[in-house]
A and B are shown apart, each in its own frame.
Chain A
Amino acid sequence: MNFVVPNFAPAYAELFVAAMGVVILLVAVFLKQSARPFAYLASLATLLGAAFITWYTMDGQVSYTFGNMYIDDLMGDVLKLMVYFAMAVTLLYSRGYLTDRKMDRPEYFVLATFATLGMMVMISANHLLTVYVGLEMLSLSLYALVAFDRDSARSTEAAMKYFVLGALASGLLLYGMSMVYGATGSLELSGIAQAIYHQAGNRTVLLFGLVFLMAGIAFKLGVVPFHMWVPDVYHGAPTAVTLLISTAPKLAAFAMTMRLLVNGLFELADQWQAMLMFLAIGSIVLGNIAAVAQSNIKRMLAYSGISHMGFMLLGLLSGVVDGDSRLALNAYGSAMFYAVVYVLMSLAAFGMVILLSRAGFEAENIDDFKGLNKRSPWFAAMMMFVMFSMAGVPFFVGFFAKLAVLQAAVAAGYVWLAVLAVMMSLIGAFYYLRVVKVMYFDDPLDASPISASADLKLVLSANGLAIAVFGLMPSQLIESCVAALAGSF
């Protein structure tokens, strides 16, 4: 057998993260209780190092390695940088929360590092198996993280649900992959694309495969009707883990969607766009309406996340109109912009929940935000920024994200869909504004001042301000999303 040493260069960052994950795991085993910050600092350093590597190897070229199983392109690099950023912020926010609850075991950081690796693999996958490997690596880490608070019945129940449903979704995805392989004879995404282009394979089998692939993607994105796990897991998991699940993995899921649907099955755009529309409508409608009745802010944010993912799909489903893909770059760019903005907002929202929580007390209910303005006008303002932005109030970045995807939908001729989405986001405005209302107009339930570490306060403030500042100058972020995608198709 002739073994060719593969070109490792496109995967330096992944190799680095993998090595560091193992190192942290091994070193932490031998460290004493008192050396706990090691894992935290080491995982932050890992993210920083990976960011350096990705940044300096980012050349805008598309390169393949490991026998075309792996792709390194601009979209991947940009998304990876976002993932590092989101993960770093997540770790920063989480640390105090974990310490307060005696949960700051090194495993948390090890698992977070491996989850990062999983996401990186998903983002750079050019092969059905690579997609699957990355996805499982991420998912298994997340299952374990959800159950991290071992003694909490709610936590373990959530983990169990997530695991069983995730296994089901993985099964569906694998089933879909096998059918696509059967129809096209290729596992490599570009090979699949070519095979479909040449009209090879059985179309019925291919469409069957597509439906099952879609189920797997939809589960990962958490869109209706594959969303049932989302509220329970967001609610049950420790807030630090909810924060992790609701941010960076959404970027990875976006990348997976792009790889599978756009890189692999672009010829079937007519079919998958219609499926995405079905998912998008369901998510936007159900997400917004169900969020109205929630009294738990983590559940509310879970439903809001479902509706946001629905909005993101509006961009993805507007790329091809009657076989004409001229609008595709803009549409997918808007979807990516939406995903990035959502991550930014979600970080700040769960960051606020963490900020208000302390040992023995979870600020989980909307009522816990009552009178926040009296306790801390600054953070009330930050939370208001986040809520306004999520609701899509103009001149916060969330408004431009919504505008971008709606413009894409209108450009593709789906005016009715845009109108429906706007009406649903009007309903959505209610529950976001309710949070603002209780913060400013209700009396606090407990008047104790907010105690949190300086780094959490600082980063959270920066996070909130970023939402306002990007709202004033959104064009650069939009343009860099479009530019990142330009090289990929």
Chain B
Amino acid sequence: MSDMQTLYLMVPLAPLAGAILAGLFGKTIGRAGSHVVTILGVAIAFVLSIVIYQDVQAGNTFNGTIYTWATSGNLKLEVGFLIDQLTVMMMLVVSFVSLMVHVYTIGYMHDDPGYQRFFSYISLFTFSMLMLVMSNNFLQLFFGWEAVGLVSYLLIGFWYTRPTAIYANMKAFLVNRVGDFGFLLGIGLVAANTGSLNYAEVFAQADQLAAKSIELFPGSPWLLITVICICLFIGAMGKSAQVPLHVWLPDSMEGPTPISALIHAATMVTAGIFMVARMSPLFELSDTALSFVLVIGATTALFMGFLGIIQNDIKRVVAYSTLSQLGYMTVALGVSAYSAAVFHLMTHAFFKALLFLGAGSVIIGMHHDQDMRNMGGLWKYMPITWITSLFGSLALIGFPFLSGFYSKDSIIEAVHFSHIPGAGYAYFCVIAGVFVTAFYSFRMYFLVFHGKERFGQPHDGHHDHHGDHEDEEVSHDHHHGLAPGQKPHESPWVVTVPLVLLAIPSVIIGFMTIEPMLMGEWFKGVIHMSEAHPVMEELASEFHGPVAMALHGFTTLPFMLAMAGVVIAWFFYMIAPGIPAAIQRIFKPIYLLLENKYFFDRFNEIFIAGGARLLGKGLWKGGDGMLIDGVAVNGTAALVGKVSRLSRLIQTGHIYQYAFVMIIGVFLLLTFWFTG
């Protein structure tokens, strides 16, 4: 194994070691010990990622197997790494955001009894995510995929004494199961038709795949590649929370805030985007699949944004904005602008982690009160949080020169240039989405940081309180919101330093990297774009440097819309707070629709969950209880037991009988061969 291979291996293993130490020996090494080992592990991963990044930039990519787990026929089940520009970018983002979140957690989880467990989980998550992005084959991808799903389940239900948390983690798990089913079908189809799970080998056969067709229903042939891509994308829909498999993400806010930042904003949910970008050689061959991706993404981008407008829980606003931004990334995938999707993934990871951690900092300052109606005027008390959140919000709405501007504007332009079916609808959605994004982001910003100070009043808000303090709820009210007269205060340095460190890339990363990443050759040979979809080339031909692009950005429609959103938010929530209430009254049906999240949850509960329970009950009583348990299991078990007791009788202990059996054996063998 070469030196570089050892480094590659150490990147995921360092966080794993941290997770194991903190998880299994957390009691022994204590709280400080736990955060030291996990942070050390992630820091090692981050530093090594930088080293590998420099190596990749020097032109050394790697694609090879580290360990062969098992071989079944021609199918090899392997652990291997594919280290290229896309991987190394993901490694940097994942390990950096994770490192920030680790540090931040010291402050956020300070009083929590599950401190060690929490560190162990987030390190385990980092390991899983790194395995996912570094994989060179579908099996390992699936391993990472499921592992991040598992850790997400554990973390959403981190405060496992709260029924809402348990409900939310079950929901996340079940919804992801639907997506994973599709994903597994896609992988199965790939393995069945190419005989390999290795990316490079599969991509080499992509053209043969494109020539095949498959009859899903008798008489209606489908292109195999389309079926494969849609199946894979269904997996991405689950993990990246696209309509209609998005329902788990808002509920996942039941987990502690650092997790929302790490998993449900910056990294795990982008796994689907990453996967599709990685599979670009396959997706490029199917316009149908791309259109499907595009329409789903556009719908998510716009309609999930609407939901953000009416939320009062600070974390839920950020959650819906995540959904909407994931929609943008998906749209970019749909128009073959994979590099734009990945670019937005990266910038989004920084500013969304920033926004989430900022929200967490506000929550700490508010003593775990998450209701924005109880905030206001916090800028005075939490200056660092205020400034960094402002930068985060500006980046999110795509203010020129900030990172979000470059990525989002590129996506909008790419949609503009695209001609595949659904591009018109998508263009409308992403443009309208800009306004919506600006509106809800600044609604949140103004409600939290400006205006009248509404804290310190009696209320009944949503709490991000700590699980084992349940019984204190009655006696110590100050744990869940500020007591009258109490003022919020700025968070400790372990919280604010990550905010500042995340604010820096949120501001500059777009400006710095758009030229090489998006317009240049960075992803050449990694992301495949067919000549039928020349979106990125057209984009590049219009590009005259980041400064020119930003200056031009001030004159474009998206900028106008964004500014309109900000101004209207300012007017509604700062100047004339009566208007939103009036609108809410007038458009009652629409408000109800939004408040019930388009009735997705209701539909799922009644039809899907209800139907599944009905079916399950029928199978349980009839199939399992009577047939399987009654006849098959207990019946055969009783039979075996009976035969077994009989067989004991043969073993009499009499030696002459033993000898007799032997002679019979010889006799049987003889007659067998001389008569038949």
Residues of chain A touching chain B, judged by Cβ–Cβ distance below 8 Å, are 160-161, 164-165, 168-169, 172, 204, 207-208, 211-212, 214-215, 218-219, 224-226, 228-229, 231-232, 271, 274-275, 278, 286, 289-293, 427, 430, 475
Contact = CB atoms under 8 A, between A and B. Distances in A.
Contacts of A208: 670
Contacts of B669: 211, 214-215, 275, 278
A232 B653 contact: yes
B548 interface: no
A164 B658 CA distance: 10
A293 B644 contact: yes
Nearest to B656: A164
Interface in B466-518: none
28 contacts: A161-B658, A164-B655, A164-B659, A165-B659, A169-B662, A172-B666, A207-B674, A211-B673, A212-B666, A215-B662, A215-B669, A219-B662, A226-B662, A226-B665, A228-B651, A232-B651, A274-B672, A274-B673, A275-B669, A275-B673, A286-B647, A289-B644, A289-B647, A290-B648, A290-B651, A292-B640, A430-B637, A430-B640
Nearest to B641: A292
B643 interface: yes
B661 interface: yes
Contact of A293 (B648, B653, B672): B648
Interface of B: 68, 71, 637, 640-641, 643-645, 647-648, 651, 653, 655, 657-659, 661-662, 664-666, 668-670, 672-674
A305 to B, nearest CB: 14
Contact of B665 (A204, A218, A290): A218
A215 B651 CA distance: 19
A125 to B, nearest CB: 23
Given A229-B658, A290-B648, A207 B673 contact: yes
B641 A168 contact: no
Given A161-B655, A165-B658, A290 B647 contact: yes
Contacts of A172: 662, 666
Say what secondary structure dominates the interface of chain B.
helix
Nearest to B653: A232
A225 B661 contact: yes
A289 B655 contact: no
A212 B673 CA distance: 12
Contacts of A275: 669, 672-673
Nearest to A282: B665
A280 B273 CA distance: 54
Nearest to B673: A207
Given A165-B662, A228-B651, A292-B644, 17 more contacts: A164-B659, A165-B659, A168-B662, A211-B669, A214-B669, A215-B665, A219-B662, A226-B665, A232-B651, A232-B653, A278-B669, A290-B644, A293-B641, A293-B645, A293-B647, A430-B640, A475-B68
B643 A289 contact: yes
Q: Which 10 A-B residue pairs are closest in the complex by CB-CB distance?
A: A225-B665, A228-B658, A293-B644, A292-B644, A290-B647, A211-B669, A215-B666, A289-B644, A293-B645, A161-B655
B662 to A, nearest CB: 5
A160 B655 CA distance: 9
A360 B643 CA distance: 35
B652 to A, nearest CB: 9
B634 to A, nearest CB: 13
Contacts of B658: 161, 165, 228-229
Contacts of A430: 637, 640
Contacts of B655: 160-161, 164-165
Main secondary structure, interface of A, reads helix
B651 A278 contact: no
Contacts of B640: 289, 292, 427, 430
Residue from the set B643, B657, B674 with the largest chain A CB neighbour count within 10 Å:
B643
Contacts of A278: 668-669, 672
Nearest to B652: A228
A278 B641 CA distance: 24
Nearest to A215: B666
Nearest to A424: B640
A293 B659 CA distance: 23
B251 to A, nearest CB: 35
Contact of B651 (A165, A231, A475): A231
Contacts of A212: 666
Contacts of A219: 662
A372 B665 CA distance: 41
Contacts of A274: 672-673
A219 B659 CA distance: 11
Which of A161, A165, A212, A290 neighbours the largest number of chain B CB atoms within 10 Å of its CB?
Answer: A290
A275 to B, nearest CB: 6
Contacts of B657: 228
A450 to B, nearest CB: 24
Contacts of B68: 475
Contacts of B672: 274-275, 278
B11 to A, nearest CB: 22
Nearest to A423: B636
B204 to A, nearest CB: 26
Among A212, A293, A475, the most chain B Cβ lie within 10 Å of the Cβ of A293
A160 B674 CA distance: 34
Contact of A168 (B71, B653, B659): B659
A265 to B, nearest CB: 13
Contacts of A214: 669
Contact of B664 (A207, A225, A293): A225
A278 B669 CA distance: 8
Contacts of A161: 655, 658
A127 to B, nearest CB: 24
Contacts of B643: 289
Contacts of B670: 208, 211
B666 A211 contact: yes
A219 B669 CA distance: 14
Contact of A225 (B71, B648, B662): B662
A271 B659 CA distance: 25
A476 to B, nearest CB: 11
A214 B665 CA distance: 10
A293 B651 CA distance: 12
A437 to B, nearest CB: 14
A231 B653 CA distance: 10
Nearest to A427: B640
A271 B673 contact: yes
Nearest to A212: B666
B609 to A, nearest CB: 33
Q: Which of B641, B662, B674 has the most CB atoms of chain A within a 10 A radius of its CB?
A: B662
Q: Most chain-A CB neighbours within 10 Å: which of B640, B648, B662, B665? A: B665
Contacts of A211: 666, 669-670, 673
Contacts of A160: 655
A165 B670 CA distance: 20
Contacts of B662: 165, 168-169, 172, 215, 219, 225-226, 228
B80 to A, nearest CB: 17
B591 to A, nearest CB: 54
A211 B658 CA distance: 19
B663 to A, nearest CB: 8
A212 B68 CA distance: 46
A273 to B, nearest CB: 12
Nearest to A299: B651
Nearest to A208: B670
Q: Which of B643, B653, B658 has the most chain A CB within a 10 Å cutoff?
A: B658
Contacts of B641: 292-293
A222 to B, nearest CB: 12
A291 B651 CA distance: 12
Nearest to A223: B665
Nearest to A229: B658
A234 B259 CA distance: 58
Nearest to A211: B669
Contacts of B651: 228, 231-232, 290
Contacts of B637: 430
A145 to B, nearest CB: 19
A278 B672 CA distance: 10
